[in-house]
């Protein structure tokens, strides 16, 4: 039974790291004493140790121990036996490349599918889709494959924003990029704004937060998804 939270971001509208997710995290991790943190996405090129320290501070409110997977000689074994897992945001290309290089993609998928509580933020949420091809990140490294965990039957576009009528932005919008994706791909995409998340309980997927998400499907009109909607 899958027990997963996939958040668009680790912060929301000026809140501290993971602060806006605290009520959900209390429920997700209520029966665990330690969390295995996977820091491979390295936002801004931060070191694994420094990123793990940020994650530790984010969970101080729960009094739960956070251990960085990089600190162990056998990361596969740690994932297989973890009480809970958190994959933080950063660069999705770097994260996916690292998981493939270390032979951990299938291991992580198996752990989630067997019911290990899982939190993903940004890149850590992106990898739970069918593939990583709707990420916003720069392709600074080439992973072995774009295929990811397939925990959900669609892709996520995290940090999703819709350009307002008065916007002075002249570049491509997120909607434009997703339309380009759908020229070559059939996979649905959820535009997930910051402050929103998906609760995945077994086969049920529910939109959390107070903002609308947008469902994009090839050849169809985009659908606005209200909070509480079940996919």
Residues marked active site are found at 122, 137, 159
Where residue 77 falls (left for φ over 0; alpha for ψ -120 to 50; beta otherwise) is alpha
Contact between 174 and 194 under an 8 Å Cβ cutoff? The reply is no
Residue owning tokens 């291991």? 107
3-class SS of residue 223: strand
Residues whose CB falls within 8 Å of the CB of residue 44, separated by 6 or more in sequence, listed in order: 90
Give the count of beta carbons closer than 10 Å to the beta carbon of residue 113: 14
């Amino acid at each position: 039974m899958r027990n997963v939270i996939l958040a668009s971001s680790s912060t929301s509208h000026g809140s501290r790291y993971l602060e806006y997710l605290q009520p959900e995290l209390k429920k997700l991790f209520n029966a665990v004493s330690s969390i295995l943190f996977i820091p491979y996405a390295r936002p801004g090129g931060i070191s694994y140790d420094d990123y793990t320290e940020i994650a530790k501070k984010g969970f101080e409110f729960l009094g739960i121990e956070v251990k960085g997977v990089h600190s162990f000689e056998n990361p596969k074994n740690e994932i297989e036996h973890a009480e809970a897992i958190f994959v933080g945001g950063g660069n999705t290309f770097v994260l996916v490349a690292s998981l493939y290089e270390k032979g951990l993609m299938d291991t992580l998928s198996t752990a989630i599918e067997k019911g290990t509580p899982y939190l993903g933020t940004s890149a850590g949420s992106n990898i739970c889709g069918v593939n990583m091809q709707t990420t916003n990140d720069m392709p600074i490294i080439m992973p072995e494959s774009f295929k990811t965990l397939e925990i959900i039957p669609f892709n996520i576009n995290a940090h999703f924003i819709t350009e307002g009528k008065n916007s002075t932005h002249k570049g491509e919008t997120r909607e434009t990029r997703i339309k380009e994706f759908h020229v070559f791909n059939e996979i649905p995409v959820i535009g997930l704004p910051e402050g929103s998340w998906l609760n995945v309980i077994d086969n049920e997927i529910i939109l959390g937060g107070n903002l609308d998400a947008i469902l994009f499907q090839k050849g169809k009109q985009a659908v606005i998804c209200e909070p509480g909607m079940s996919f």
